[in-house]
Amino acid sequence: MANVEKKVNVAILGATGRVGQELLLVLEQRNFPIGELRLLASARSKDTTITFKGKQYPVIEPSAEAFAGIDIVLASAGEEISKKFAPMAVEQGACVIDNSNAFRMEPTVPLVVPEVNGAALANHKGIIANPNCSTAQLVVVLKPLHDAAGLKRVIVSTYQSVSGAGKEAIDELEMQTHSVLHEKEMPPQVFQKQIAFNLIPHIDKFLDNGYTKEEMKVVDETRKILDLPELPVTCTAVRVPVVISHSESVTVDLERPLSPGQARELLASSPSIEVWDDPSKGIYPTPIEATGQDPVYVGRIRHDTSSAQGLNLWVVADNLRIGAALNAVRIAEYLLEHNLLKKFAHAGS
């Protein structure tokens, strides 16, 4: 991050979860200027300690008092927890960057991927929403394409890793895989069907229109982040037996011609994107290669044979970083770099 001398007090809400742990890792890797660090989690984590930069920190239960003196709250504890505690934190003078679905489509809450629409942070009122993990990596790729040639339509199919459903989902994949290999049965508990050696076209609940809630998140959030409320977007979301990193097959129809070669050059010029696209040499991104990495990887860029001005792309990114922890920390960095914290330091008082 850019050099910011001021240290800020940070709380992580949901510190013991998978994303909470990734937040701590990213904060350390990026040398975020932390003054005081407070780790918050549910009562079942009472008496737990977590090591950060060689120091032990106790895990405490969230409460209004727990947010006193905190500048930034990085929340990754789920929708209901965020709805309960985010307003409390704002009342205490903190800015909340929330990873849940609680506030994403609220008209007054910015939904932000900093390299795409960071300017929207100037209008925040104390709560900032982090997008769905699939949306986050998608819009990083769509933004430069739209700026260059204009988006006319977007079709996306996601291949989402089990880590998007939490630690219990990772455990289920690992134990179920072991059971299948040893010819034992292990009925699904986290997922609707067996995930080991299988695909499940069902993430979150089904809605009346036949889409899942996850699919409609991608549709609605993409439109909001790109500020294209009428953009035609459709999505099919699929859970796959991969531990970390989401993949997406993306088709775009463009208003103006853009060749695959031009698209490669355009995307490669983005600091957040790495283009791996030489299939004849086996060069294209996969989830294993993206895991633990910061870029959004793009490959298989080619002309869409069904559309005169269409392109097909393959997009891969670490969902725990791009879709959650890294994006949240980048939002916090943007707030500091643009002096947007103190403007709303007492937004709720």
pLDDT tens, residue by residue, 91-100:
999 999 999 9
Task: Measure the CA–CA gap between 25 and 22, rounded to whole angstroms.
Answer: 5
- The yes-or-no verdict on residue 45 having pLDDT over 80 is no
Task: Measure the CA–CA gap between 248 and 184, rounded to whole angstroms.
Answer: 32
Chain centroid to CA 186: 30
| Cβ(126)–Cβ(344) below 8 Å | yes
Task: Measure the CA–CA gap between 83 and 86, rounded to whole angstroms.
Answer: 6
**Tokens 């001398």 appear where?**
5
- The yes-or-no verdict on residue 1 having pLDDT over 80 is no
pLDDT digits (tens, 9 = 90+) for 211-244: 999 999 999 999 999 999 999 999 999 999 999 9
pLDDT at 46: 74
- The yes-or-no verdict on residue 345 having pLDDT over 50 is no
pLDDT at 47: 78
> Using the 8-state DSSP alphabet, how is residue 15 labeled?
T
| Cβ(84)–Cβ(13) below 8 Å | no
Based on the residue annotation, tell me whether 133 is a catalytic residue of this protein.
yes
Structural tokens at position 116: 């795409």
Based on the residue annotation, tell me whether 235 is a catalytic residue of this protein.
no
3-state DSSP of 171-192:
HHHHHHHHHHHCCCCCCCCCCC
* Average pLDDT estimate for 65-86: 95
Helix (H) or strand (E) holding 45: none
Instruction: Tell me which of 246, 303, 338, 346 is the catalytic residue.
Output: 246
pLDDT digits (tens, 9 = 90+) for 147-197: 999 999 999 999 999 999 999 999 999 999 999 999 999 999 999 999 999
Helix (H) or strand (E) holding 299: strand 296-303
- The yes-or-no verdict on residue 58 having pLDDT over 80 is yes
- The yes-or-no verdict on residue 348 having pLDDT over 50 is no
pLDDT at 4: 53
Instruction: Tell me which of 95, 124, 133, 235 is the catalytic residue.
Output: 133
Task: Measure the CA–CA gap between 27 and 32, rounded to whole angstroms.
Answer: 5
- The yes-or-no verdict on residue 2 having pLDDT over 90 is no
Q: What is the pLDDT of the chain when averaged over all its residues?
A: 94
| C-alpha torsion sign, points 211, 213, 218, 221 | positive
**What residue ranges define each of the domains in the chain, with the CATH number in brackets?**
8-102+324-344 (3.40.50.720), 134-318 (3.30.360.10)
Q: Provide φ and ψ at 25, rounded to 5°.
A: -60, -45
Task: Measure the CA–CA gap between 284 and 278, rounded to whole angstroms.
Answer: 7
pLDDT at 343: 46
User: 206: helix, coil or strand?
Assistant: strand
